[in-house]
Structure formats: C-alpha cells, structure tokens
Chains A and B, each alone.
Chain A
Amino acid sequence: MPQFFLNKRLIILLVSIIVLVALIGFSLREREKVTWPEQFLKDMTGFVQNALSGPTNYIAGFIENVQDLQNTYSENQELKPRLDKLASLEAEVQRLKKDNAELRDIVGKEDALSQYEPIQATVIGRNPDRYHENLIINRGENDGIQADMAVITANGLIGKVKNAQSFTSTVQLLSSMDPTNRISAAIQAEDNKKVFGLIEGYDKDKKLLMMTKIPYDAEVKEGQNVISSGLGGVFPEGLIIGKVVEVENAEYGLTQTAYLETGADLYDINHVMVAKITSMSAEIQEELQSTLEEEEEEE
C-alpha cells in the first residue's frame, strides 16, 4: 500500500511518537544537571513568575493576617504560660551551647554535621499537574544553591533541591513519587537512643511518609519524633521530619516500617529555607569519597 505510507500526517504522527519516547527517556534518566536551553527557559519564566508572585504573595499575606487576628485572644491565652518557661529555657540553651563548644574544644572536633547555613527563598510556582510535586523557588546557583540540598520550613523538612539554575531552583517535595529519593533518618526513641532508618516513599492513600529499614527489635512508639541523621552526608543532622503515627512489620518481618506525619504542611508553603551544609570539612569529605570508592570496587 504505497498510498498508506505516503500519507503525510501519518508519517508526522509516527515520527513524533518516536521523538516523544526518546524525549521522555532522555528526561527520566538520572541527570546531574539539566541542559542549558532548559536552564535558560526556566530562568526566563522565573522572572515572569517572580513578577506575578510578588503581588499575589502580598494579597495572600494580607488575608492570612486578617485570619490571624481572629484567633489572637485564644492564642494569647495559650502562649502566656509558655512565655514564663521561655526565660529559663533560654538560659539553659546558652549554658548548653557554651558547654558544647568547650567539650568540642577538648575533643578537638570543631565541626558538627548539624551545622548549616540557611538560604531564605520564596516559592514562586508549583507544578499545576500534580503528578510530580515540584516547587519553584526564587534562589539559584548565584545564591549558593546546589542540587540535593535539603529544603526546610520553620516546621521541618519538606524536600530537596532537584536541580538549580542560575536564578531559580526546582524543589522536589517529600510527597513526590521518586524511587531515588532516600533520606537517612533517625527516630528519637526512649532513653536518648536513636533508631536509624530510611525515609523512602510516600503512601498516597494514608497521606503519610514511609520510613523503612528499621531494625525489627527496635522499640518504636507512636508520637516519637523523627529527625534527619546527617549520615547521608548531604542533609545536615537534626532537621525535623515528622512524628511516628503507625508502625508495622515489613514484608518477611525482617525490618519494620513506620508511617510518619510530616511536621511541615506540604501544601501551604510560601517561604522556605535551603540548608547549605557548612560543616563538611575537607577531611570528612575525603573520608566519604574514599569509602564510596571502596564500596564501588567491592561491587
């Protein structure tokens, strides 16, 4: 049927399906950096988004303020007793900080995994199609942001930087489905013990984060706090992730899986901080690098 193959539209359709598959395959590949035309387009739309999100932010802020005013009385009642405790807490924190610094001096270890420098950023966009939970923020490489940095709000961890352009960056939320998105975390169990596990995936039905690979004999209870462990070397230590809601045995019963409620609201996000690690001294980095290389050689 020569006529069938001469149909121009059919050829265009077939060629575009091939290109479609190739493009999807290209963009799903794990990429260290997005290509420069993508970066350019993202930055250009970033300018427009910045310009438009300014006024909307202002209006939304105003509405929020009015709503806050309505609850002022009850909030005040609740906060007054806490205020009394604050002074003593502050004094204790000061003392502990000093203690900590002195002890570090004695041990000779200056850096901690928990040290980071927060970079303030404003959310200027969110993916409308909601399959990929991405945010766009108005800070980029020029402000020191790099891929894989932790993104937090005042209430805890919300995600990581997926990729950074010069003036904007894309943030991947904890709730997005990505099998490569793993965070080393620790549950603060009783008696100051830490139970380690991995944050891996999001249960869409329960709307809860999943923490897997918890040892089967660890005693994990509801309501315990979960923080980042800092062992991955990418995220700083001690960022609040959430609270345990439910614990169950994983498949085969060798490990446990905990379901966490995130501390931060993953929907109502306007201002975020990007945690730039400052503590990674050259020594630690070399050590990490060498262990990684060893592991690769073993494989």
Chain B
Amino acid sequence: MRKYLLPFLFLFLFVFESIFVQYLPTEMFGSDRITVPRFLIISILFLTVFSSRKYGIIYGIIFGLLFDIVYTGVIGIYLFSFPIFAYLMSKLMRILQTNIVMVSLASLLLIVLLEIGVYEINVVINQTDLSFADFASLRLLPTVVLNSAFIIIASYPLKRHFEKFMASVSD
C-alpha cells in the first residue's frame, strides 16, 4: 500500500507548489519580496536520506523533467539540478550524522545552493536581469525563511513516511 502512495505524495507536492504561489504570493501583501516554495526538492532530499539514494535520484529526474516542461518551459535546469542535489545530499550524509536536525540543516544548505545555481543559469541564458544583491535580499532570504518553516513542519512526518516506505519495499 505504502509503496504505491509515494508517487502520489510527490505529485501532490508538485501541484501544491504552484497552488501555493497562486494563492499566497507575497505581492498580495504589498511586499516586493519573492518567496519560492521548494517543498518538492526538500521531500526528494529527505527521500534520498531516509530511503535510498536510488529512489532520490529517480524521483529527482522524473519530477525535475515535469517541473521544466509544465512550469518553466526551459527544459534542463531542474531536470539536472534535482538529481544532482539528491546525489550531493547522499554524499553529505556520509560525513554528517543521520539525525533529523542534521538532515534538516543540510537540506536547507542545499536549497540555498540550488537557488544560487538556478539564478546563475537564468542569468547566463538571459532570462532575468536581477542583480546578485537584489537576488540575495529579495529572493534568497525570504525563500530560505519560507522553506525552513516547511522543514520544521514536515520533516518528522516525511521521515516517518519514508522509513516506513523503505521497510515495506524491503519486505
């Protein structure tokens, strides 16, 4: 049962990100800061740690490709960054202890790196004219705040779910 639930959980997160942005953009409250929900990649990072690297990379490729095609229209950016960050996470966890606090901090660090990476690619392909200082204050900081809130709320349920998923797969 749990085995088949996993794709739907990720599909839900995938759609939830866009609904979140549509109904709660910070511009509605008169602020010019941009918060980007990164719930999907956070869950993929948790999946990498608490189930296996193989699953993390496969889900990274599938949902990265979906993200590119459905949302951005530029194929490649997320298709490559999602699995690469899943791989980095697994490498990082060999050095660090696998407890929930360390995993949360590591995924927050990777979110920062992902934001910077995606920004740099968009600068190179001339899709944004934001300066780095503006990017750091208007995008990066609010995004980190939003996503750390998500990590605090969702880290424990995600951990439980993925561990049980792993147990059911190995049965």
Chain A residues with a Cβ under 8 A of chain B: 16-17, 19-21, 23-24, 26-28, 34, 38, 41-42, 45, 48-49, 52-53, 56, 60, 123, 125-132, 134, 136, 162-163, 170, 177, 204, 207, 267-270
Contacts and interface: CB of A to CB of B under 8 A. Distances in A.
Interface stretch (B28-36, B46-54, B101-109, B149-157): B28-36
A199 B125 CA distance: 22
A253 to B, nearest CB: 24
28 contacts: A20-B80, A23-B76, A24-B76, A24-B77, A24-B125, A26-B75, A27-B68, A34-B73, A38-B75, A42-B70, A45-B66, A52-B19, A125-B70, A126-B21, A127-B72, A128-B36, A128-B37, A129-B36, A129-B71, A129-B78, A130-B36, A130-B139, A132-B73, A134-B71, A170-B73, A177-B129, A267-B28, A269-B22
A20 B79 CA distance: 8
Given A126-B22, A128-B37, A132-B127, A27 B15 contact: no
A131 B128 contact: yes
A52 B79 CA distance: 24
A52 B66 CA distance: 17
Given A56-B19, A269-B22, 10 more contacts: A45-B70, A48-B11, A52-B12, A123-B22, A129-B67, A130-B34, A131-B128, A170-B73, A177-B127, A204-B129
Nearest to A24: B76
A23 B71 contact: no
A16 B80 contact: yes
A259 to B, nearest CB: 16
Contacts of A21: 76
B15 A267 contact: no
Interface residues of B, number: 44
B130 interface: yes
A41 B70 contact: yes
B18 A126 contact: yes
Which residue among B21, B27, B75 has the maximum number of chain A CB atoms within 10 Å of its CB?
B75
Main secondary structure of the interface of B (DSSP, over half): helix
Nearest to A31: B73
Contacts of A17: 80
Given A128-B21, A132-B73, A170-B73, A177 B80 contact: no
Nearest to A37: B69
B132 interface: no
B6 to A, nearest CB: 15
Contact of B72 (A123, A132, A204): A132
A136 B66 CA distance: 14
